Structure 1
Amino acid sequence: MAPWILLLTIFTSSLLFVVLFSFASAVISGRRGRRRAAGFFHPYTNDGGGGERVLWCAVKAVQEENPDLDCAIFTGDDASPQSLAARALDRFGVKLLRPPLVVRLYRRKWIEEHTYPHFTMIGQSLGSVYLSWEALQKFTPQFYFDTSGYAFTYPLARIFGCKVICYTHYPTISSDMVSRVLQCRSMYNNDAKIASSTLLSRCKVVYYTLFSWLYGLVGSYAHLAMVNSSWTRSHIESLWKIPQRTKRVYPPCDTSSLQMLPLERPVDTPVIISIAQFRPEKAHALQLEAFALAVGRLEQNLPRPKLQFVGSCRNKQDEERLQKLKIRSSDLNMDNYVEFHRDVMYRDLVHLLGGAVAGLHSMIDEHFGISVVEYMAAGVVPIAHNSAGPKMDIILNEGGLQTGFLASSKEEYAEAILKVLRMPEVERLALASAARERAQRFSEQKFFEDFKAAVQPILKPKSSS
């Protein structure tokens, strides 16, 4: 156990050193003047996921509510103000009032997963402090927005004199993660070697417990913590212990344009769609296995379905994961039934959703599940994992009517797929209509309203305060 304790001691000492060094540097230099601006710490502005949609909607909300406030993006991507504004519109349909300022970061490798083959959370947390130091040295805004979940940067931002506002999609560490280690369950974030060893599992529990304490400490430095779901809120309130500064703001989902799609779908080749980045936690392999199982069980008199994987790759590891998925599809003899769509434009995504009858989502403890809401708004019957956001917030009855299916295992997913494929058209239309009605609770307009209400007391405090 000694190596774990030693590493954590080094980590804590390093974090303290960075904070003290930052404070000393600020005092010696007289601290650079803060700009009347909102700086958004979002190192990856090309991942194409729900987090990026939140970024652009948050920027637009700040621009609308505070027209005199400049918005700057801290990013490691080689991008210009015009290219980012164009990306927000082309990929997400979000039209900014004006292009944001861009602060280019060159030390992003220190937050990348592959930089830390072991002790990844510790490495990325320290790396985020280093990257935030680069960002704040170059441009110090009055308001520091973290839209990517780098809580360890908050004390540093406070030292630079910023008001810290965050939108947290999911906690870096949670009691669910600790529970899985205790149960010796192998997953994408718990190596099989550790899961098979009682001693190593106990050591990892100690590591997770101490990391949870540190995470709670740095998270408490936020002036405002917005969270995206009931599940995330319960964990953040337990860890950060700032319930009075924690607000649930559902993420912006494109429900308005998707609701314009007709509910009727082609019946000659039913399409099952899966929208998610090709990340390990999205469990694409489970979807593929379940689909193959469903096709094998489908009656001969029913049309053969098609599975469409739609997503983006953040890095080389995601690309390799996508390639393995294609190989697995061939091994299952599913090449004639499976399609892969990578980095599609927003209009193409809408077109694909308009032709699907069901949508798959299989991430365990998905903090919210924007893609699930998009399915529902588009009239696509959702089949999501029976946990966290989809279970607690999204796939609930609407007016007493079912709005989708929840599943956990390959067999349960296959059975849900078969239910949709065997469902009479009248029944499917009724389910799709109820799902669409519920999706309105998570609209982009609702996000703007709740986001502005949450940040306004900080961005425009009363004169007497």
Structure 2
Amino acid sequence: MKVNFVYSDLNPCGGAEKLSLITMQSFIELGINIDLTSLEFPDSKRIQNAFGKELASVLECIREIHILDTFNEKSIEKNILNDYKLVFNSHGDIDPYYHKSRNKFNTITYCHYPTAKFLIKSRDEEYLERYLKISRFERSGDNGIESITIPRSNNQVSLLQINNNKHLQWLEQTYDNMLMNSSLVTNSQYSHNQITKTLGISDTMVIYPPVDVDKFRDMSLIPSLNKGIKENDIVVICRIDPAKKVENVIFLAQKLREAGVNLKITIVGNLDPYHHYYYKKLKKTIIDLNLEDRIFFKTDASLEDLFVILSKSGIIFHPKPGEHFGISIVEAMSAGLVPVVPSVGGPTEFVPIENQYDSIETAVKIIQKFQNIKDIERIRTSNSVRQFSTQCYKAKIKKLVLDLLNGIDYTSFGVYHNLT
């Protein structure tokens, strides 16, 4: 039996990429052969640095890796000829992958959020270039893309111009067909509700993403308790990406200084060359506001680096309202950090309401309240997120896969959440 995993690029090494590798691991443990269809070849060294040797070793178990130029009708048609029993698209928020032979019994799509629906409609240039690699198209009457050079407002260069709607229409139809004809899984009730609102699909299953809660507890919380090395500073864990609203960290640092709260903030996140302009802008703003002694970046940190940073920190601040789930928040909570998160989004499903903010000023008050909590509270915080363990996720994914292969369709009953 062969299963095809679809994921456009595993190299950003964020939460969604980690979920994909752990899902592959689940299939391997079931004795199922897996292929990978992607737009970029996986960088094993980068992935090992971010996730550790054990999880990166999943790449060695992939039978074949198929690299497509982009997602289009011809490439998918050719790819699907490999006679797959099941297709698992673990990047269903971004990657439009559909073929008429696919249905809810032979396709699982993990859609973190119906992001592509909005990006295609708005003709978002970053999405089309960076994620779908449309600039790889050569000029042809077949694809509706004409390669030219035009300036961008952020001083980057675009290599394409959409000169008719043919390909955009195909992308939109393909994305809708993919979600309508899959056993659809998402990461939170928040995302489930948005999928229902956007596409009218109400039978999406919620399977919370996997977090190695035990490892973060053992490698960060326990050492800090044993050695007393907690410094109670603030950590932010997210990609250096405009979508993550990292500028809110700067606003927070300003307000903390005004309130007389002397805490340092470390921003831990991967930096894609595409967003280097944004990183430079953030750094300049920090210098202009004289915050260099309060905000520090740790880009492309290793897993071991992250363990050490968490062991010395007391608070995890998340800057983006409307986060779909927040794997990094759960990781930090597993390490005993106090969460401070926006009051809108998936994190509200596991973060107490007293730790949720609706303004930066409110976030400052929460930080002031919790900056010196006792060790027993850190342990209680760590225990509160054990339901998101990798083991729980794997058990639910394995049950879903085996039941689908046996002809059981959960979506026909509108069942989600509790698959174990």
What displacement does 1:315 show?
Answer: 3.8
1:405 to 342, 350, 355: 355
- In structure 2, the residue matched to 1:156 is 99
What displacement does 1:239 show?
Answer: 4.4
Counterpart amino acid of residue 370 in structure 1: I
1:88-127 to structure 2, matched below 5 A, reads 90=52, 93=55, 96=58, 99-108=61-70
What displacement does 1:343 show?
Answer: 0.9
What displacement does 1:338 show?
Answer: 1.8
- In structure 1, the residue matched to 2:284 is 327
What displacement does 1:322 show?
Answer: 1.4
- In structure 2, the residue matched to 1:434 is 380
- In structure 2, the residue matched to 1:394 is 350
1:297 to 231, 249, 259: 259
Matched, 1:229 2:194: no
Counterpart amino acid of residue 409 in structure 1: S
> Partners of 1:144 and 1:70 in 2: how far apart?
12
What displacement does 1:308 show?
Answer: 0.5
Indicate conservation of the 8 Å contact 1:287/1:362, yes or no.
yes
Counterpart amino acid of residue 62 in structure 1: F
- Higher RCO (CA 8 Å, separation ≥ 6 residues): 2
Structure having the higher helix fraction is 1
Task: With the length of structure 2 as denominator, give the TM-score of the two structures.
Answer: 0.74
- In structure 2, the residue matched to 1:414 is 364
Indicate conservation of the 8 Å contact 2:111/2:186, yes or no.
yes
- In structure 1, the residue matched to 2:396 is 450
- In structure 2, the residue matched to 1:59 is 24
What displacement does 1:147 show?
Answer: 0.9
Counterpart amino acid of residue 179 in structure 2: G
What displacement does 1:72 show?
Answer: 1.2
Task: With the length of structure 1 as denominator, give the TM-score of the two structures.
Answer: 0.68
Indicate conservation of the 8 Å contact 2:326/2:347, yes or no.
yes
Q: Secondary structure at the match of 2:255?
A: helix
- In structure 2, the residue matched to 1:358 is 315
> Partners of 2:257 and 2:320 in 1: how far apart?
22
In the superposition, relative to structure 1, how do residues 58 and 152 fare at CA in structure 2: closer, same or farther (>3 Å)? closer
Indicate conservation of the 8 Å contact 2:103/2:181, yes or no.
no
- In structure 2, the residue matched to 1:378 is 335
> Partners of 1:85 and 1:37 in 2: how far apart?
24
Matched, 1:248 2:206: yes
- Residue-pair matches, total: 356
- In structure 1, the residue matched to 2:147 is none
- In structure 2, the residue matched to 1:15 is none
What displacement does 1:130 show?
Answer: 4.8
- In structure 2, the residue matched to 1:77 is 40
Q: Is there any run of 5+ residues in structure 2 with no aligned partner, and where?
A: 122-170, 409-420
What displacement does 1:406 show?
Answer: 0.8
What displacement does 1:278 show?
Answer: 1.2
> Partners of 2:217 and 2:357 in 1: how far apart?
25
> Partners of 1:160 and 1:455 in 2: how far apart?
14
- In structure 2, the residue matched to 1:258 is 216
> Partners of 1:323 and 1:107 in 2: how far apart?
30
What displacement does 1:134 show?
Answer: 7.1
The C-alpha deviation readout for 1:372-401, integer Å capped at 9, x for no partner, is 11111000111111112111x11137xxxx
Counterpart amino acid of residue 332 in structure 1: L
Alignment identity in percent?
21
> Partners of 1:171 and 1:142 in 2: how far apart?
25
- In structure 2, the residue matched to 1:122 is none
Indicate conservation of the 8 Å contact 2:49/2:302, yes or no.
no
The C-alpha deviation readout for 1:232-263, integer Å capped at 9, x for no partner, is 1222244445545x321100012011112235
Structure number with greater Rg is 1
Indicate conservation of the 8 Å contact 2:105/2:404, yes or no.
no
> Partners of 2:116 and 2:357 in 1: how far apart?
24
Q: Secondary structure at the match of 2:115?
A: coil
- In structure 2, the residue matched to 1:273 is 235
What displacement does 1:290 show?
Answer: 0.8
Q: Secondary structure at the match of 2:384?
A: helix
Q: Is there any run of 5+ residues in structure 1 with no aligned partner, and where?
A: 1-35, 109-127, 179-210, 398-403
What value does the CA root-mean-square deviation take over the aligned residues? Answer: 3.5
Indicate conservation of the 8 Å contact 2:51/2:302, yes or no.
no
- In structure 1, the residue matched to 2:87 is 144
